Amino acid sequence: PPRFRNVSELIRKVLPKETFNLLREIGKIADREGVNAYIVGGFVRDLIIGRENFDIDIVVEGDATEFAKVVGRELGAKVHTFSRFKTATLVFKDGTRIDMASARTEVYKFPGALPEVDIAPLKKDLFRRDFTINTLSVKINYSDFGKLIDFFGGLKDIKDKKIRVLHSLSFVEDPTRILRALRFSVRYRFELGKHTEKLLKMAVEKKLFKTVEGQRIYHELKQILLEDNPLRVFLRLEKYRLIEELFPGLRWNREKKDTFERVRKLIIWHRINFPERKTDYHLVYLGALFFKEPLERVKSYLSSLSFPEKEGKKLLKFLDEIYGTYRALKSSNLPSEVYKTLRGREEEFLLLLAALFPDVEEKVVNFMRDWRFVEPLVSGKDIKELGLKPGPAFKEILNRIKYEIIDGRVSREDREEQYSRLKEMVVGKVSPSN
Ligand code: CTP
């Protein structure tokens, strides 16, 4: 029998006040509309585990699209509905997003089919999910707000730190869950349940990945690479002989593991120092994974995993150019030469470069931290005042000043010093007739 406990105060504690109030309001509307509404999945799991998560998924016993429209109207949110799946996304004025889905029952299976009333639609919906830890839900109807519902022992498994499937066919029905199991086990430091591990191994042996759309595997791979420590997940992939399944022929050796470790450290550094730069960190790991692999092989991975076109192109370009860039850096003695080699390069490329080649890491990091931000305090206006006609020489002169600042030959803060250096350069260019 399901066990109940109230987690309303816990939710109040973890959510911004506005979001919490929103849920209360949605609960009121649910009462009035005569539907049951529940928060489900990852949010509830992370609420209990104590990990931050603001992705709220609501399941409605009833028509979620209709319900979402009412909520949107009353609480002033934009509603995007996807009628084919009976789901909706609400976007509130402050940017908060809430997803709603209809509890999936078999009611719509064929015309005239009788609704199955023996099992609560919510329970049936949850039974289709991957692991017990993802089957917890919290009722939000006003009268029952915060009631935690645990049909499948998710609470106990969280307490025991176990990843468990709900039934023996789980991995067969959806082999991407194999990757999810390993990802969650690393993220939460949970073990696989004994039976679950056996099922996972059997699924691997049956080579079930062959039957999955590449795009779905790509999605899970990306999720893994966006975790805090992808190397740990990869070590489990290795343990269950999944690297070979995902990337036939790939070399997964000490060198690559070390690079993964270095990528991780650089990403942590980057996140702290450049939080505003939107960076596809998973691309850095993919570059590290595919470095030194034959080009044709990389291309076959990209196509079998249906990499998004743009991403695949970017990755191939990185792999094509990175060694040349490394050579150029290695023979650069002046910071300005490093600057010229690296300016305009993508964040992901720079991180990959630093991770793959420790002997130029310092140069790359200095460029990223400092040199790329150097701007002279003198400008085209100064050059004009010195009597030179505007033209391509302007840019060239200002660049030369910039290089001298980067190399420490001209002060970065002293405008006077920069100005006299500028004067020297301009005088050489100004013709007597000017
Ligand atoms: N789910 C599933 N099988 C999958 C993918 C997802 O059963 N192959 C279910 C899970 O139960 C999960 C829900 O769908 O709770 C939503 O999945 P997802 O969007 O991946 O969210 P989270 O579980 O919250 O994962 P994460 O914390 O990584 O976002």
Question: Can you tell me which atom of ligand 1 is nearest the CA of 184?
Answer: 28
Tens digit of pLDDT at every position of the chain (434 positions):
555 689 999 999 999 999 999 999 999 999 999 999 999 999 999 999 999 999 999 999 989 999 999 999 999 999 999 988 889 999 999 999 999 999 965 544 555 555 554 567 999 999 999 999 999 999 999 999 999 999 999 999 999 999 999 999 999 999 999 999 999 999 999 999 999 999 999 999 998 888 899 999 999 999 999 999 999 999 999 999 999 999 999 999 999 999 999 999 999 999 999 999 999 999 999 999 999 999 999 999 999 999 999 999 999 999 999 999 999 999 999 999 999 999 999 999 999 999 999 999 999 999 999 999 999 999 999 999 999 999 999 999 999 999 999 999 999 999 999 999 999 998 877 655 44
The one-letter code for the residue type at 219 is H
Centre of ligand 1 from the C-alpha of residue 413, in Å = 52
Architecture in CATH of 251-372: Orthogonal Bundle (1.10)
| Residue labelled with tokens 């109040």 | 12
Instruction: Tell how far the Cα of 336 is from the centroid of ligand 1, in angstroms.
Output: 48
Q: Does 251-372 match 3-160 at the fold level?
A: no
The C-alpha atoms of residue 127 and residue 213 are separated, in whole angstroms, by: 23
CATH topology of domain 161-246: Hydrophobic Seed Protein (1.10.110)
Residue 347 CA to its chain's centroid (Å) = 15
CATH superfamily of the 3-160 domain = Beta Polymerase, domain 2 (3.30.460.10)
Can you tell me the distance from the alpha carbon of 97 to that of 41, in angstroms, rounded to the nearest whole number? Answer: 15
Work out the angle at residue 134's Cα, subtended by the Cα atoms of residues 128 and 136, and round it to the nearest 5 degrees.
Answer: 100
Q: Hey, where are the domains in the chain?
A: 3-160, 161-246, 251-372, 380-427
Pocket of ligand 1 (CB under 6 A): 41-42, 129-130, 134, 174, 176-177, 180, 223
* HEC-encoded secondary structure of 127-144: HCCCEHHHCCEEECCHHH
**pLDDT value, residue 107:** 47
Q: How far is the CA of 183 from the centre of ligand 1 (A)?
A: 11
